[in-house]
Structure 1
Amino acid sequence: ALETARTMTGESGRVIVAFGCAGLRDRAKRGMMGHVAGRLADLVVITAEDPRTESLEEIMAESAAAAMAEGKREGIDLWRVPDRGEALLFACQMARKGDVVIAYGKGHEQSMCFGTTEYPWDDREALRRALRGETLDTLPTARQGLENGE
């Protein structure tokens, strides 16, 4: 999808990706996703995606390390934003004419798991709000801000 997005940007557009990796799932995917995002996207925003009982900060750190191995720099073209609503808003706010913003991981799912609790969540609604300059703040991470570069 990132390669397809690149074909949509034209000469001056950028690919902006926001993604997370699930807790208690295949840890190897965290690094793989970080490497792919670091290599194929211009701007990378790492965020929550069902951390479950794992540390969200540690999950994000694994993906961030892989993106940095591809040359991304924290606070310049790589950010960690724990709250997914704030991350999608941040990604949309960075976008300018000709850019493509992609959010990976949640798709049609209607909840996100923190600890053992499922919280209401909808990426589609969060993106609609982000395009209006608003955030969907149904998660326990709401209003925590950027973890770096703020």
Structure 2
Amino acid sequence: MKFYSPYLSITIIVIQLILLLIGHLQYLEWVEEMEKQNPELIGLISPSRTYGTLSIFVILIGFYEMTTKPTWIKIIIRIFLVCIVLGATFSGLIPIDGFYDGVYNTAWFSATIALFLLIIRFGKYIKNRETDKHKKASR
């Protein structure tokens, strides 16, 4: 499997992981503050955060972009990755109800498609490797 100019995707993935770490640290500070103010409510706080899964989605889409040959679709995927990261980061500034949820659901759907296409691409790669081994063995 060959990677085609993966630098932008790697940069976007690293930025998303940094944002994940920052979001998690802010969440831990908030929980610590809530423990001091209302210790009886700590059991009711759900630790479910979407930053981690959004990072997984960005990694999947970025990995698919890395394995795509340079064409117009690669440019669209790059723009899409940047829009996902920026949209999730600055969703609080955009006055649309549920904007973050829309970005998250779009990333989820795109990551599912990217995973499916990666599985197909990996299957073809394995099949080609096995065929090449059989051709070399028959010589």
Q: TM-score, normalised by structure 2?
A: 0.24
Structure with the larger RCO, 1 or 2 (CA within 8 Å, 6+ apart) = 2
